[in-house]
Amino acid sequence: MCMGKEIVSRERLLQALRDEVPEHRFRHTLGVMEAAVRLAERYGADPAKAEMAAILHDIAKYWPVERLRAAVQASAFPQDVLAYDAELWHGPVAAEVARTRFGVTDEDVLNAIRYHTTGRPGMSVLEKVVCLADYIEPGRQFPGVDEIRRLAEADLDAALAKALGGTIAYLISRGMRVYPLTLLAYNDLIGATAARDKEGGG
């Protein structure tokens, strides 16, 4: 067995997660798993990949900020993220944990973890599914979440646009900076929705 870099079972991933996060985050993650698998089935992503990305997406959430910063610096992620809210850093770091500690090689799974907070333009279906599942898992309660849950049944792009738009509005209302990838992701998803509506003959 190759220590430190092996393909691991769902149970071992969940056990590893348990050791890294508090109980409420563990329960959040179980909710994201459930929502991500359902969305994957609905929109044609691989449910097993969605589940794996969901389990690992917040595994670095409780690292001390200096450890997160060093891990981002050691990664290939755009370094401009270090000039924005430290809340953004656990995504790219979790992808590195998935790759180096758990031997995850699937780039789509790694990207779903990597971009789960920020989003980005040109997201794959798997990336969208994991990002949206993070917003609508059963434990989430924020104004507008039920409308996003309803939209998620019918239109993945519209639901994710609404979710990211809500985050952008929240950040602006608090006088915080918005990471450009989130704005680009929002515009991309709105564009996709508008183009489809037009096609439909409106």
Point out which residues bind ligand DGI (CB under 6 A): 58, 61, 84-85, 87-88, 116-118, 134, 167, 171, 178-179, 182
Q: Say how far residue 16 (Cα) sits from the centre of its chain.
A: 19
> How many of the other CB atoms lie within 10 Å of CB of 41?
13
Tokens, residue 28: 């959040």
* CA separation for the pair 51, 32 (Å, rounded): 8
Q: How many residues bind Fe ion (CB under 5 A)?
A: 3
Question: Smaller CB distance to Fe ion: residue 118 or 193?
Answer: 118
Q: Is 155 in the site for Fe ion (CB under 5 A)?
A: no
* CA separation for the pair 133, 145 (Å, rounded): 11
Question: Smaller CB distance to Fe ion: residue 137 or 193?
Answer: 137
Q: Judged by CB under 5 A, which of 58, 96, 155, 157 binds Fe ion?
A: 58
Question: Per CB under 5 A, which region of 39-47, 50-58, 163-171, 175-183 contacts Fe ion?
Answer: 50-58
Which residues, in sequence order, are CB contacts of 51 under 8 Å at separation 6+? Answer: 10, 33, 36, 37
Question: Smaller CB distance to ligand DGI: residue 28 or 49?
Answer: 28
| Interacting residues with Fe ion between 102 and 121 (CB under 5 A) | 117
Beta carbon of residue 147, minimum distance to ligand DGI (angstroms, whole number): 18
Q: Which does 87 bind (CB under 5 to 8 A by kind): Fe ion, ligand DGI, none?
A: ligand DGI
* CA separation for the pair 29, 38 (Å, rounded): 14
* CA separation for the pair 26, 70 (Å, rounded): 25
Residue 119 exposure: Cα atoms within 13 Å on the Cβ side: 30
Question: Smaller CB distance to ligand DGI: residue 20 or 87?
Answer: 87
Which residues make up the interface to Fe ion (CB under 5 A)? 58, 117, 134
